[in-house]
């Protein structure tokens, strides 16, 4: 709900003078303006500049004033912009234009997201460059993480934007509680956050993101647990993935949406580990065609599933999990472990040395990077011998 606007205090005499000064200088020719500004900087800040430098710094002050105003969403006085510019150039030895505490407060406000209290996108770009340079100089890893709030729009639509704001604020507080002192968190968009994790390898970064996700889900459940808002994430690491900021950001964003897609698909079919699994109702017709589990047929082009074992085109894309530590524990077979090759809405593909002992229907616990461990009931769908000698076992989820 919009808040009533707070009355703006009247401009001080000094601010009114500076506003008048801006208007007056616009009417002067370039030479006269430069001479006046040189004397002006000498009088107000006790610095010696040439006519050319005086004009250049004046234009920079006007530009900075506009930038600060846009960042804060309100008008910024000229003297504030002057202090910012002159201090950044180490010219402001005697801060006579405004109180130092007031200046520092303005700097913090301009670099901070008002809703969450995290650093904003402007500061993310600045810190990312600094940390990349530091990582290059000392030969360290730097993990860049992009996170977003999955299903935040549903919260806004059903409960209003105040509830959505609470979900964003909770995400920020979860990040603050979880990160190390050397890590940085930013809000870089509406529902997007980013992390800079110095000296962090891919496994450490993913582990941290899982911890953040789990803590957030536990907290958000108290607010609106029936929607299932969560934090999805994508990770890219310098120098393993790239040495360029733009490429690292693009790769982290791509991985975020790959994992979001696979999480969305799996969440509609898999059963949480702490849930009770009801027995399958034999009276209900199977929603997928029955297949002889021992039959081995060559796959159809591009699908990964033999065409003779399905009556319709694949509806959902498979998400490859090769290169990850995704695996399944076959609980019916003495905790036997199998590598997870890929995952889709309808099922999962496992890699096994042999499948003779695997029953047509069996229980398993999936360990996938984007999810907590989940218990599933699987039914054999097809088998395919791979080039490495192992057998690809395609399985469908039983709802």
Mean pLDDT within 186-197: 93
Are residues 156 and 69 both part of a single domain? no
Contact between 188 and 194 under an 8 Å Cβ cutoff? The reply is yes
Are residues 149 and 225 both part of a single domain? yes
Are residues 252 and 130 both part of a single domain? yes
Are residues 91 and 145 both part of a single domain? no
Are residues 135 and 156 both part of a single domain? yes
Q: How confident is the model at residue 101 (pLDDT cuts 50, 70, 90)?
A: low
- What local confidence, expressed as pLDDT, does residue 374 receive? 83
How far apart, in whole angstroms, are the C-alpha atoms of residue 69 and residue 110?
A: 9
How far apart, in whole angstroms, are the C-alpha atoms of residue 51 and residue 40?
A: 11
Is position 40 within any domain? yes
pLDDT tens, position by position, 223-249? 655 667 888 999 999 999 999 999 999
Is position 282 within any domain? no
Are residues 127 and 253 both part of a single domain? yes
Closest CA to 111 of 8, 190, 186: 186
Are residues 43 and 103 both part of a single domain? yes
Q: How confident is the model at residue 262 (pLDDT cuts 50, 70, 90)?
A: low
3-state secondary structure 276-334: CCCCCCCCCCCCCCCCCCCCECCCCCCCCCCHHHCCCCCCCCCEECCCCCCEEEEHHHC
- Domain end point (choices 80, 110, 140): 110
pLDDT tens, position by position, 385-398? 888 888 999 998 88
- Domain end point (choices 110, 139, 164): 110
Number of domains in the chain: 3
- What local confidence, expressed as pLDDT, does residue 93 receive? 52
Is position 314 within any domain? yes
Are residues 189 and 256 both part of a single domain? yes
How far apart, in whole angstroms, are the C-alpha atoms of residue 377 and residue 353?
A: 21
- What local confidence, expressed as pLDDT, does residue 253 receive? 92
Are residues 125 and 231 both part of a single domain? yes
User: Which class for 376: exposed (0-12), middle (13-18), buried (19 or more C-beta within 10 A)?
Assistant: buried
CATH number of the domain where residue 317 is located: 2.40.10.220
- What local confidence, expressed as pLDDT, does residue 187 receive? 93
Are residues 17 and 95 both part of a single domain? yes
CATH number of the domain where residue 147 is located: 3.30.70.270
- Parent domain of 352: 307-397
Are residues 182 and 251 both part of a single domain? yes
Is position 285 within any domain? no
- What local confidence, expressed as pLDDT, does residue 157 receive? 82
Are residues 165 and 262 both part of a single domain? yes
- What local confidence, expressed as pLDDT, does residue 239 receive? 94
Is position 289 within any domain? no
pLDDT more than 90, % of the chain: 23
- Domain end point (choices 83, 110, 137): 110
Is position 274 within any domain? no
Whether the pTM exceeds 0.75: the reply is no
Tokens of 241: 């993935």
Is position 115 within any domain? no
């Amino acid at each position: 709900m919009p808040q009533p606007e707070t009355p703006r205090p009247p401009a001080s005499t000094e601010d009114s003078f500076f506003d008048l000064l801006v208007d007056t200088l616009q009417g002067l020719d370039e030479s006269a303006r430069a001479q006046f500004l040189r004397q002006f900087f000498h009088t107000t800040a006790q610095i010696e500049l040439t006519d050319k430098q005086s004009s250049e710094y004046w234009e920079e002050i006007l530009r900075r004033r506009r930038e600060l105003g846009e960042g804060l969403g309100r008008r910024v006085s000229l003297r504030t912009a002057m202090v910012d510019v002159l201090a950044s150039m180490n010219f402001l030895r005697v801060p006579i234009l405004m109180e130092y505490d007031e200046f520092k407060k303005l700097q913090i406000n301009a670099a901070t997201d008002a809703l969450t209290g995290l650093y904003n996108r402007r500061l993310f770009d600045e810190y990312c460059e600094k940390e990349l340079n530091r990582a290059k100089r000392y030969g360290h890893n730097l993990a860049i993480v992009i996170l977003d709030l999955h299903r935040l729009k549903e919260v806004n639509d059903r409960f209003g934007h105040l509830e959505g704001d609470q979900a964003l604020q909770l995400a920020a507080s979860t990040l603050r509680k979880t990160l190390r002192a050397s890590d940085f968190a930013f809000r870089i968009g509406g529902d997007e956050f980013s992390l800079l994790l110095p000296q962090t390898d891919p496994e450490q970064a993913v582990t941290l993101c899982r911890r953040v996700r789990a803590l957030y889900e536990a907290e958000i459940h108290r607010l609106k647990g029936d929607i299932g808002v969560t934090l999805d994430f994508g990770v890219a690491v310098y120098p393993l993935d790239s040495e360029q900021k733009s490429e690292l950001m693009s790769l982290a964003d791509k991985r975020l949406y790959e994992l979001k897609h696979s999480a969305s698909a799996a969440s509609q079919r898999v059963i949480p580990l702490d849930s009770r699994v009801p027995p399958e109702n034999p009276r209900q017709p199977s929603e997928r065609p029955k297949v002889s589990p021992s039959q081995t047929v060559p796959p159809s082009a591009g699908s990964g599933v033999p065409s003779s074992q399905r009556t319709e085109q694949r509806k959902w894309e498979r998400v490859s999990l090769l290169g990850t530590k995704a695996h399944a524990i076959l609980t019916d077979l003495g905790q036997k472990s199998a590598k997870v090759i890929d995952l889709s809405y309808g099922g999962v593909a496992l890699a096994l040395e042999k499948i003779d002992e695997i029953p047509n229907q069996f229980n398993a616990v999936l360990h996938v990077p984007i999810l907590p461990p989940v218990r599933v009931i699987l039914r054999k769908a097809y088998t395919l011998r791979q080039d490495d000698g192992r057998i690809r076992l395609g399985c469908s989820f039983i709802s």
